[in-house]
Amino acid sequence: MTKRAYKFRFYPTPEQVTLLTRTFGCVRFVYNAVLRYRTDAYKQHQVNIGYSAANAKLTALKKDPAAVFLNEVSCVPLQQSLRHQQTAFKHFFEGRTRYPSFKSKRHRQSAEFTRSGFKYRNGQLFLAKSKEPLNIRWSRELPSVPSTVTVSKDAAGRYFVSCLCEFDTQALPIIPKMIGIDLGLKDLFVTSDGHRTGNPRHTAKYAAKLALAQRRLSKKRLGSANRAKARQKVARLHAKIADCRKDGLHKLSRRLINENQVICIESLQVKNMVRNRTLAKAISDAGWGEFTRQLAYKAAWTDRQVIAIDQWYPSTKRCSCCGHVMETMPLATRVWTCPECATVLDRDVNAAVNIKAVGLTVLALGENVSGMERVSMSCSR
């Protein structure tokens, strides 16, 4: 059994809006208060506050007369916020993320409910402290009773519910097709067969509307109702761009998984690449990290194989015919001729062919390639 989150949009009643607003505010208050408590304890006394001490701080907060409003909402999301904070500190100490930051009410709001905080029966979902079920737009049936439910509100004012369920994975039929793909900006990716996907450039498509909305927002008086409305318009445009990007990536990744048994890709350090101010916006708009993430988990669900070769392998500078490696390859060079074999090579297709060759070499050597496997290949091979 594998766990999977099913996300749906819902439309709360006025009473549920009030309850969710209070819940989001309390979750944010508890998270920020405990984070401040842990930060001050370390800076002033060099004491590391663990989860048990943080939980005791929550108990003290609920007994404080100034924070009596914490008892008006379910205690489950308050407790879960501390668990999420503990996970954030764990990732920080292991060097994977930055120091946990304080939550803002202007960004995405969320609250997680475990089984003691909700009821799911007859296709209806009831949250704690609410007598009416959520008006959810079910796009599919849940495979099992959810183990956790996360209710969220994005910056555009839309409400979503994410249900974590267990489901049985189904392996796709084995097919002989294997492919290599080279990620890029002119085309989102180019395959070793020469197929080009193009790049929809969602951010550039809505750039004019977004710039107009942002200019109007900047002219509104701080704290006014008109500024809040203008901020909502900007948020809705950003949400539209994000939804279009994610929808396109889901369709492309699903098609690759359905049509290929083995997919070879190049591992990229996107966080380092976006430091280039000239290309940062285009790289972020392409969504390479999200695309490779989708390929990884969809391959695991369907018994496909995704191989990520080392990022330093010279797939672009290496001739796929004779193996000659060029010393330099400027980004503006899209077609080049190999000085050894005089073969005219397309930059992207050549890179995809090399990526496929390296990935298939790993298969021939009998390496374990389940899921995302990073393979380091020297330049001399």
Residue type, 200: P
Judge whether 120 and 127 are in contact, CB under 8 Å: no
Judge whether 308 and 375 are in contact, CB under 8 Å: yes
Measuring CA to CA, which residue among 203, 307, 291 is closest to residue 254? 291
Burial class (CB in 10 A: 0-12, 13-18, 19+), 344: exposed
Catalytic positions: 182, 266, 348
Q: How many Å apart are CA 80 and CA 235, to the nearest integer?
A: 27
**Backbone angles phi and psi of 306, in degrees to 5:** -120, 125
